[in-house]
Amino acid sequence: MKKFISTLCAFLLAAAFFAGCGNDAPSGKVEQLEDLRGKVVYSIGNGSVPDLVFRYILKQNDIEYRFSDKPKDGTVSIAYVLEGSEFIGGLTAGKMNYGVISEPAATVALNKVGGAERLFDIQKLYDGVSGATGGYPQAALVVKKTFLEAHRGYVADFVSAFESGSKWAETSPAEALAAIKSAGSSTVPLLTSDIARGCNLGFTRASEVKDKLKGFYNALESVKEEGETPVGAKLPSDDFYMGEISAPAETGVTAKVYAPDGAPAISLAKMIADGYAGAQFKIVQPSIIGASVVGDADIAIMPTNAAAMLSEKAGIVMLGVTNFGSLYLIGG
């Protein structure tokens, strides 16, 4: 079960963008999704959020896709790598021309590959085919029900502090990078104001985006292949989506706070830098965030659909959405 949860969350976590250059690029720039026909696009894991969002956009635009690392005329071929670094290596070597990796690693990859550039904002493409606005709900702040019941006042204050500091990295990127590294971040070598803005950080109460979340789960489910982990077949009950929390302030509380490295960690930077009272922050690899939430985390950030799927097993409720995607289509 631990292996299943780790694999699931590694696949679900990544907010991503599409990068390209190399031998299968058409003459001239890619100006529309149709231009990806006949190309191979690499994704981090079959059934990951970037993979499913990409498939959903293709499907809604009546663009045929298949699963192969060989190009086929008229069809988008989707192939898979284990992690972003594998794709960056392939892109640098000219062996992989289009792919899916996460921001802030996106900007790092662009800096390494000459001639690559951003072509499309995937959030806008998702909005265009889904009827949503502002992109897809990528990551969520969650809390164990038992911790919430015991320390409602602490959670209320924690949420307020998170909300007020979630965009801090946009104005203080150097300080934010130092903060997350002090809590265990190891995969964010560079952070600038532009990178932070590209992560689409912020906070929206779960009850305010409940319908959008359900729409997102169902969108991903619509392109799920047989054998893949369900992403929206069994939606949690309405009490999973928390609204405002009101309770007297508490002191002397200790909370274990986990977040996967990358954009979720960056959203916690202000609280980490301030040494928020009672919070023990731990930045972990995305592959173990699910196991951490099922295990000893009291408060955590994790993929929104992973939160829904693990809501009963982990005994969690969603406090709010922490960012709305960071996918970009780039090409040479």
> How is residue 48 written in tokens?
């990951």
* 235 vs 309: CA distance, rounded Å: 8
Q: Could you count the other beta carbons within 10 Å of the beta carbon of residue 230?
A: 14
- Calculate helix-pair angle for 2-13, 49-60, nearest 10 degrees: 50
Bridge partners of 204? 321
> How is residue 192 written in tokens?
């600038």
Q: 21-25, 203-207, 310-314 — which is least confidently predicted?
A: 21-25
C-beta separation of 326 from 16 below 8 A:
yes
Span 197-220, average pLDDT: 93
The H-or-E segment that residue 88 falls in is helix 84-92
The predicted-structure confidence for 134-177, as pLDDT tens digits, reads as follows 889 999 999 999 999 999 999 999 999 999 999 999 999 999 99
Q: Is the pLDDT of residue 28 over 70?
A: no
Least Cα distance to 101 among 13, 23, 180, 35 occurs for: 13
**What single-letter amino acid sits at 136?**
Y
- 11: Cβ contacts below 8 Å, ≥ 6 apart: 44, 45, 46, 47, 48, 49, 51, 229
Q: Residue 135 gets which letter from DSSP?
A: -
Least Cα distance to 44 among 18, 77, 5, 75 occurs for: 18
- Report domain extents, the chain: 7-133, 139-324
* 314 vs 309: CA distance, rounded Å: 9
Pick the CATH number of 7-133 from 1.10.8.60, 3.40.190.10, 3.30.390.10, 3.40.50.2300: 3.40.190.10
Torsion, Cα 10 216 214 269, to 10 degrees, reads 50
Least Cα distance to 268 among 184, 145, 152, 144 occurs for: 184
Which one has a higher pLDDT value, 183 or 235?
183
pLDDT confidence of residue 225: 84
Helices (H), the chain: 2-13, 49-60, 84-92, 105-112, 122-130, 145-150, 152-165, 173-182, 193-198, 210-221, 263-267, 269-274, 289-294, 304-309, 311-314
At 108 the three-state DSSP class reads helix
Global pTM reads 0.86
C-beta separation of 293 from 142 below 8 A:
yes
Which one has a higher pLDDT value, 111 or 10?
111
Q: Is 45 left (phi over 0), alpha (psi -120 to 50) or beta?
A: left
Mean per-residue pLDDT over the chain, rounded: 86
Q: Is the pLDDT of residue 320 over 90?
A: yes
Which one has a higher pLDDT value, 12 or 307?
307
* 180 vs 281: CA distance, rounded Å: 9
Span 65-81, average pLDDT: 94
Least Cα distance to 277 among 252, 298, 246, 248 occurs for: 252
Q: Is the pLDDT of residue 79 over 50?
A: yes
The predicted-structure confidence for 237-251, as pLDDT tens digits, reads as follows 899 999 999 899 999
- 235: Cβ contacts below 8 Å, ≥ 6 apart: 214, 217, 308
C-beta separation of 286 from 97 below 8 A:
no
pLDDT confidence of residue 267: 97
